[in-house]
Structure 1
Amino acid sequence: MYKTAKIVLAFIASLIALDSWAQVNLKDLREKPETNIVNTDTIKGHSLKQINVPIPQLGLEVNYWKHWTKFGLNANQASFSDNWNAGGVNSMALSGLFWHKADYTRDRINFVSELDLKYGKIKNKDQLAKKNNDRIFWDNKLSYQFSEKWALYFSFTWETQFDQGYKYGKDGEGNEIIIDTVSAFMAPGYFTESFGLEYKPDKTFSLRLGTGTARQTFLLDKRIAQPEGGEVVYGVEPGKRVRNDLAFQLTANLDRNLSQNLNLKSRYNLFADYKELSDPNHRLDVTLTAKVTKLVNVTATGVVLYDSDQSSKVQYSQALALGILFSFPR
């Protein structure tokens, strides 16, 4: 019995000693994470060369500018035979447009420049050719955003037309003739400088409140600036070429896609001279564009204008055209 217990104790002691020896050897084989597993000093007859992998210089630069461009051509035509009893007049209309917008945004600074050019003519049978669209519009705005939706802005706008506009009549034989010239390039022409607050809740809508706005009206054509009757023309007194106004201006811009192929763009401008706040000028431009294919589109445009210096009644125009429109970026 005593011998058996002694044998068992010796066996247990040998197991403990073997386990301690194994633990010591395993600890010697372990590598710390911060040590080098491969040491060139311990490798005999071999040498490791350091290889430098070249990293290409990409040369990336941040472009703070964005550009959009559209230009197109619209045409309308109608013809009737001589025996067409339902009535009608042969006509041909052709118009072109060019639009470009540039946007610079960096931190809280934003600059937007928008150029809109339109010109078109229509020719009816037995009548003189007349323009049905004529506009030069260039708007520039610099703003500083001081909150999420509000900014301080300064803008400069130039508006005029390309071609002369005429008043028509008929001679003794019933033929259409030109009676008088009523407009021309820079007659009238408008320069508008405005400073105030801008509200912009998203990228498709903005509202400008121009508390400090100055506008100069130019009549650079003598035929228009010095009429025979000596009346006031476009608010400019007879014999003068320039009129200066200090006013409050409200401008609302909307450019929104109603669907994938349908875009609505509108601009409303209110101009109230501080001397005549009860009789402000109003202008609303609306353009609805439906894309038929990548190039072909249908455009409906409308303009509503009230300016007591031009007419005591509301003026309006509308047009519907089918044409080709190129847009960049596509």
Structure 2
Amino acid sequence: MKRISTLFLFVFLTGHLFAQSEPETTPVDTSYWLKEISGGLNLNQASFSGNWQGGGVNSIAVGTYLYGRANYAKDKWSWDNTMDLTYGVVKNKDEEGRKSNDRIYLDSKVGYEINDKWDYFFAVNFLSQFAPGYEFEDDDKTLISKFFNPAYLTTSLGVEYKPNDEFSLRMAPFAPRWTFVTDTTLHNNVPTNYGVEIGKKVRTEWLAFSLLADWNKKLSENLTLKMRYQMYANYETLAFDTIDHRLDLGLEAKVSNLINVSLTSMSIYDLDQDDKIQFSQGLALGISFKRGNFPEE
């Protein structure tokens, strides 16, 4: 029994001495990610009594959005990912519900640092919509778009200028793009078929230049401006009127931790869609949330 007690005491003391001799270490943060997810729900409503003399139509509009970022950076390498989803519907009295907003935007970019302001990059982005879109005339409606009709998958290889955390500019002299129209009957309603040859589902543009500018500016503690401009020019059909342009603008004012007011607009010029500039604008009040570890400034 004494031998067992002595052995137990020896093992205990030896382990205690080794534990004391081990140097204390501080946990190392091995995470190189910054992540953020935000979203919101907007609701607009108007109603009038039957004898209202000022004119007006009872209506309700609902909109929702989800925005996410996940950025990785270590040494000279970076990997930035963005998700921007928006959908809204407006319903006027005695009319069918109509879309007020609809966007799917996904972007992923790998970068390699040249210096503190310039990177080489390779990026892939996807652009489409969730639900069918219609052209309304009197009581008739005509299908003109839907999910993957059209959809755009663009790859780009070039250089990026990023002087600070607010602004970035990508310039890609090599930017292949694929335009998808999976419904082969859609050209009956949209003669241009969004640039895809009738009878086919995909158009490939190998030789092209793309430019993408992002500006995310915090104007004050509760006011934020977001801007994204995209340009796409096909070398094979290059002319001033064949260059595609898209400008998204958003101004968001934070009323409280949950309530926000947002003003958004979108301008598109794409000869494969229409020979005139397309424009949309929206003003909304709603609830919002935001979670993540991106620095506020």
Could you state the TM-score of these two structures normalised by the residue count of structure 2? Answer: 0.88
* TM superposition shift of 1:187: 0.4
Determine the structure 1 residue equivalent to 2:264: 301
Q: What does 1:1-330 correspond to in 2, within 5 Å?
A: 52=20, 58-170=26-138, 176-178=139-141, 180-224=142-186, 226-227=187-188, 231-245=191-205, 246-278=207-239, 279-329=242-292
What stretches of structure 2 of length at least 5 have no aligned partner?
A: 1-16
Q: What is the number of equivalent residue pairs in this alignment?
A: 273
Q: Quick one: distance in 2 between partners of 1:183 and 1:198?
A: 33
CA contact (8 A) 2:144 2:189 kept: no
* TM superposition shift of 1:289: 0.5
* TM superposition shift of 1:55: 5.3
Q: Quick one: distance in 1 between partners of 2:137 and 2:55?
A: 23
Q: CA offsets per residue over residues 225-261 of structure 1, 9 Å max, x none? A: x4278x3310112111111113111110001100111
Q: Quick one: distance in 2 between partners of 1:223 and 1:294?
A: 48
CA contact (8 A) 1:251 1:268 kept: yes
* TM superposition shift of 1:167: 1.9
**Residue 317 of structure 1 aligns to which amino acid in structure 2?**
S
Mean Cα displacement is larger for which, 54-63 or 118-127? 54-63
* More relative contact order, 1 or 2 (CA 8 Å, 6+ apart): 2
* TM superposition shift of 1:60: 2.7
**Residue 92 of structure 1 aligns to which amino acid in structure 2?**
I
CA contact (8 A) 1:262 1:291 kept: yes
Q: Quick one: distance in 2 between partners of 1:204 and 1:105?
A: 16
Determine the structure 1 residue equivalent to 2:12: none
Measured on the aligned residues, the alpha-carbon RMSD in Å equals 1.7
Q: Percent identity?
A: 42
CA contact (8 A) 1:227 1:238 kept: no
Larger Rg belongs to: 1
Q: Quick one: distance in 2 between partners of 1:76 and 1:86?
A: 19
Q: Quick one: distance in 2 between partners of 1:261 and 1:61?
A: 31
